[in-house]
Chains A and B, each alone.
Chain A
């Protein structure tokens, strides 16, 4: 091994995409398969330069479908694996994200959101894929999705994504946006020993006793990998605890799919992370994530200076949705304001959780995120 460091401990000036790549490496990712797409490409470029120096694999596949399929294969062969893409590529990956959910393959998918639909605005930000993150593949399933707001969080939350993927054997998404990906900021990388790393739990029984999809009490099965002598089968078909197809059994479908959903739903309180600001007496609550949350926080602070009791709910975990946090904030609030870079996606979840409190959406499409003044204007209007 060279003197090349796997964890670049220190204070850096980095773009979000590069911080994401470094976060993956620090988390132990040693396999990256991807296909170039703006504005996620720099993640691949940086990993292509770094991986060979630390004994990891980078491969540019022929398309996004191949990329995610290779990632699932690498995960089953024992490596922590990741891909990074943007809206159109994310759409292409959906079928195999379902495969990863069904076969419980831990992996990380970074989606740097740009304007859509279709080819849309490749170099401009959006938050238009957040519902695709939850519902993109067919069938019922649960994933985990995180939304970074800064280059630092591109680093931190990419590590967190790997830890969650390994803990719950679930594809975990980092839902960034073009601004967070391309902005250059200070990023502090801690010493390796201070970074919390989680590895998938392994079977502790002999191969003949191993049932690859028999869950423990936490609803997550221990994971053997190819080549370890367990000789197991995995399939995207509905299967039993042995991994054998049970395509005609309604009982097997209910048991498996319910568990795949429950292992996330029942652990939601452990998974969900939310930043809450000035909520104690907040009458006007702003709900914002990703880059928009930074303008929202600024607007809330300005509102406070003007005597308006404003507060912020910033979901770091988009999925599972932080329903309780929103409900709690809504109890005291007159209104919840949801600035989003789309025509109305997460706002519907907020409405559902807010139960009767007025929810107002500030859509924004195109060139730039909401400004603090735009959000402040809304706060002032609804505080009267």
Chain B
């Protein structure tokens, strides 16, 4: 006879005091958080040396829900904050979990510069195509012609292709999945956590309550069916051609390269300067 399990095997990764979470039914954020803690568990990451940083928005609460050192920053600044953390203590594993608006509208500049420097922080972006928490306004990833509370006649702004942007800015690991691809996402987060340099995963995430119901997908299930019908895995294809539209969502891993991280270059340079100082 097996003993009754009193606690969920992954409950140690969550802060019970912060539950219940604030996310709507049908939201993909729980799937992303679940994939993240699953990856932590499979890798047996040292939780005392892990820092999770979020910006503002629905997924921004993920930092508080994760039972590790965590910080919920101002809107758009989690990567800049994480840069300070990583440089101050390079032994820490620093993961930013935030949304498309936070990371690519107000925080776009920080994203490209952290990627350019190749600072060893890991970024997971929940992309739900709109500003969910503030009520569903247009964002930098909202598809053309999509309806939001601030595009009542259909969006006329060309959206960012986030994986193309990340690759062009210099990220050393770039992947995109939907919340339907739970196993691939978990595998990808495990890879992300093992990379040294600036690494990025975009997760296409359903927002049925706020985005879906304005765009003919009223339930989480309908949004997941859209992913199922249209997602195409094209590993290591050209990120410039990795489109997201009603007919086709290209997912997979796009970049996986190694190059020296900022903190490696910095510490090498410091060692060299100190050595010259001793000799001089």
> Do B85 and A73 touch (CB < 8 A)?
yes
Q: How many residues of A contact B (CB 8 A)?
A: 48
The complex places the Cα of A99 from the Cα of B77 at a distance, in Å, of 11
Determine if A69 is an interface residue (Cβ-Cβ < 8 Å).
Answer: yes
Instruction: Mark out the residues of chain A between 215 and 240 whose CB falls within 8 Å of any chain B CB in the assembled complex.
Output: 226-237
> Do B84 and A242 touch (CB < 8 A)?
no
Residues in A whose Cβ lies below 8 Å from that of B270? 52, 55
Determine if A272 is an interface residue (Cβ-Cβ < 8 Å).
Answer: no
Residues in A whose Cβ lies below 8 Å from that of B110? 62, 66, 69
Instruction: Mark out the residues of chain B between 37 and 87 whose CB falls within 8 Å of any chain A CB in the assembled complex.
Output: 47-49, 51, 53, 61, 63-64, 67-74, 76-77, 80-87
Residues in B whose Cβ lies below 8 Å from that of A235? 63-64, 71-72
Given contacts A63-B109, A66-B110, contact A227 B92 (CB under 8 A): yes
The complex places the Cα of A33 from the Cα of B270 at a distance, in Å, of 17
The complex places the Cα of A78 from the Cα of B80 at a distance, in Å, of 16
Closest beta carbon of chain B to A43's beta carbon, Å = 18
> Do A226 and B81 touch (CB < 8 A)?
no
Which of A3, A65, A67, A228 gathers most chain B CB within 10 Å? A65
Determine if A81 is an interface residue (Cβ-Cβ < 8 Å).
Answer: yes
> Do B269 and A227 touch (CB < 8 A)?
no
Closest to A49 in B: B273
Which of A31, A70, A74 gathers most chain B CB within 10 Å? A70
Closest beta carbon of chain B to A242's beta carbon, Å = 7
Determine if B1 is an interface residue (Cβ-Cβ < 8 Å).
Answer: no
> Do A226 and B77 touch (CB < 8 A)?
no
B positions within 8 Å CB-CB of A: 15, 17-18, 47-49, 51, 53, 61, 63-64, 67-74, 76-77, 80-89, 91-92, 109-110, 113, 266, 269-270, 273-275, 277-278
Determine if A76 is an interface residue (Cβ-Cβ < 8 Å).
Answer: yes
The complex places the Cα of A1 from the Cα of B274 at a distance, in Å, of 7
Residues in A whose Cβ lies below 8 Å from that of B109? 62-63, 66
> Do B77 and A53 touch (CB < 8 A)?
no
In the complex, besides A65-B76, A77-B86, A231-B48, 8 extra interface pairs with C-beta distance below 8 angstroms are A31-B84, A33-B84, A65-B77, A69-B77, A73-B81, A226-B92, A244-B17, A245-B72
Determine if A112 is an interface residue (Cβ-Cβ < 8 Å).
Answer: no
- Cβ 8 A contact of A72, one of B81, B86, B273: B81
Residues in B whose Cβ lies below 8 Å from that of A264? none
Given contacts A62-B110, A70-B81, A73-B81, contact A78 B88 (CB under 8 A): yes
Determine if A131 is an interface residue (Cβ-Cβ < 8 Å).
Answer: no
Which of B64, B84, B273, B274 gathers most chain A CB within 10 Å? B84
Closest beta carbon of chain B to A95's beta carbon, Å = 6
Between-chain CB contacts (< 8 Å), 10 pairs: A3-B278, A57-B266, A62-B110, A66-B80, A76-B85, A77-B89, A103-B71, A227-B89, A234-B70, A244-B18
Closest to B15 in A: A233
Closest beta carbon of chain B to A89's beta carbon, Å = 14
The complex places the Cα of A53 from the Cα of B275 at a distance, in Å, of 9
Residues in B whose Cβ lies below 8 Å from that of A69? 73-74, 77, 80-81, 83-84, 110
> Do B277 and A2 touch (CB < 8 A)?
yes
Residues in B whose Cβ lies below 8 Å from that of A74? 84-85, 87-88
The complex places the Cα of A78 from the Cα of B72 at a distance, in Å, of 17
> Do A81 and B88 touch (CB < 8 A)?
yes
Residues in A whose Cβ lies below 8 Å from that of B61? 245
